[in-house]
Chain A
Amino acid sequence: MYTASDLRKGLKIQIDREPYVVTDFQFVKPGKGQALYRCKLKNMITGVIIDPTYRSGDTFEPADLSERRMQYLYNQDNEYCFMDVENYEQSILSKEQVGDAKNYLTDNLEVDILFFGERPIGITLPNFVDLMVTRADPWAKGDSVAGDTKPVTLETGYVLRVPPFVEEGGKITVDTRTGEYVTRVKQ
Chain B
Amino acid sequence: MSPGSSSDSFRGEWTRQTSKEQNLRLRAQMVSSIRDFFADQHYLEVETPHLIPAPAPEMHIEAIPAAGRYLHTSPELCMKRLLAAGFSKIFQITHCFRRGERGGLHLPEFTLLEWYRTGIDYQGLMAECEVLFRYVAQRLGRGGIILYKGREIDLGGPWDRLTVEQAFHRYTSLPLDRALEEQYFDQVLVEEIEPHLGNKRPTFLYDYPATLAALAKLKP
- A residues near B (Cβ < 8 Å) are 5, 26-30, 32-36, 53, 55-56
User: Given the complex of chains A and B, what is the CA–CA distance between A109 and B106 in angstroms?
Assistant: 48
Q: A35-B60, A53-B191 are in contact. Are A30 and B186 (CB under 8 A)?
A: yes
B141 located at the interface, meaning its Cβ lies under 8 Å from any Cβ of chain A in the complex: no
Q: A33-B189, A55-B187 are in contact. Are A27 and B214 (CB under 8 A)?
A: no
Q: A53-B191, A55-B187 are in contact. Are A33 and B60 (CB under 8 A)?
A: yes
Is the CB–CB distance between A30 and B190 below 8 Å? yes
- B residues near A (Cβ < 8 Å) are 58-61, 100-106, 183, 185-187, 189-191, 194, 212, 214
In whole Å, how far is B216's beta carbon from the nearest beta carbon of chain A?
10
Shortest Cβ distance from B98 into A: residue = A29
Chain A residues lying within 8 Å of B194, measured Cβ to Cβ, are 30
List 4 A-B pairs, minimum CB-CB distance, nearest first.
A27-B103, A33-B186, A34-B186, A34-B60
Is the CB–CB distance between A29 and B104 below 8 Å? no
User: Given the complex of chains A and B, what is the CA–CA distance between A56 and B190 in angstroms?
Assistant: 14
Which residue of B101, B104, B189, B191 is within 8 Å of A35 (Cβ)?
B101
6 sampled A-B residue pairs with Cβ under 8 A = A27-B104, A30-B194, A32-B61, A32-B212, A33-B190, A56-B60
In whole Å, how far is B56's beta carbon from the nearest beta carbon of chain A?
9
Q: A28-B190, A33-B185, A33-B212 are in contact. List 10 more A-B contacts (CB 8 A).
A: A27-B101, A27-B102, A27-B104, A28-B105, A30-B190, A32-B212, A33-B186, A36-B186, A53-B191, A55-B186
Which residue of A26, A29, A53 is within 8 Å of B101 (Cβ)?
A29
Chain B residues lying within 8 Å of A55, measured Cβ to Cβ, are 186-187
User: Given the complex of chains A and B, what is the CA–CA distance between A100 and B101 in angstroms?
Assistant: 41
Is the CB–CB distance between B100 and A53 below 8 Å? no
Chain B residues lying within 8 Å of A56, measured Cβ to Cβ, are 60
In whole Å, how far is B205's beta carbon from the nearest beta carbon of chain A?
9
Chain A residues lying within 8 Å of B100, measured Cβ to Cβ, are 5, 35
Q: A33-B60, A35-B100 are in contact. Are A27 and B187 (CB under 8 A)?
A: no
Shortest Cβ distance from B102 into A: residue = A27
Chain B residues lying within 8 Å of A5, measured Cβ to Cβ, are 100
Is the CB–CB distance between B106 and A27 below 8 Å? yes
Chain A residues lying within 8 Å of B101, measured Cβ to Cβ, are 27, 29, 35
User: Given the complex of chains A and B, what is the CA–CA distance between A48 and B183 in angstroms?
Assistant: 29
User: Given the complex of chains A and B, what is the CA–CA distance between A29 and B59 in angstroms?
Assistant: 13
In whole Å, how far is B16's beta carbon from the nearest beta carbon of chain A?
23
Chain A residues lying within 8 Å of B103, measured Cβ to Cβ, are 26-29
Chain A residues lying within 8 Å of B59, measured Cβ to Cβ, are 34
Q: A5-B100, A35-B100, A35-B101 are in contact. Are A30 and B189 (CB under 8 A)?
A: yes
Is the CB–CB distance between B191 and A29 below 8 Å? no
Chain A residues lying within 8 Å of B187, measured Cβ to Cβ, are 34, 36, 53, 55
Chain A residues lying within 8 Å of B183, measured Cβ to Cβ, are 34
User: Given the complex of chains A and B, what is the CA–CA distance between A28 and B212 in angstroms?
Assistant: 18
Chain B residues lying within 8 Å of A28, measured Cβ to Cβ, are 103, 105-106, 190
Which residue of A26, A32, A53 is within 8 Å of B58 (Cβ)?
A32
User: Given the complex of chains A and B, what is the CA–CA distance between A28 and B192 in angstroms?
Assistant: 13
User: Given the complex of chains A and B, what is the CA–CA distance between A27 and B105 in angstroms?
Assistant: 8
User: Given the complex of chains A and B, what is the CA–CA distance between A56 and B61 in angstroms?
Assistant: 11
Chain B residues lying within 8 Å of A32, measured Cβ to Cβ, are 58, 60-61, 212, 214
User: Given the complex of chains A and B, what is the CA–CA distance between A28 and B191 in angstroms?
Assistant: 10
Is the CB–CB distance between A36 and B104 below 8 Å? no
Chain B residues lying within 8 Å of A33, measured Cβ to Cβ, are 60, 185-186, 189-190, 212
User: Given the complex of chains A and B, what is the CA–CA distance between A23 and B97 in angstroms?
Assistant: 28
User: Given the complex of chains A and B, what is the CA–CA distance between A34 and B59 in angstroms?
Assistant: 8
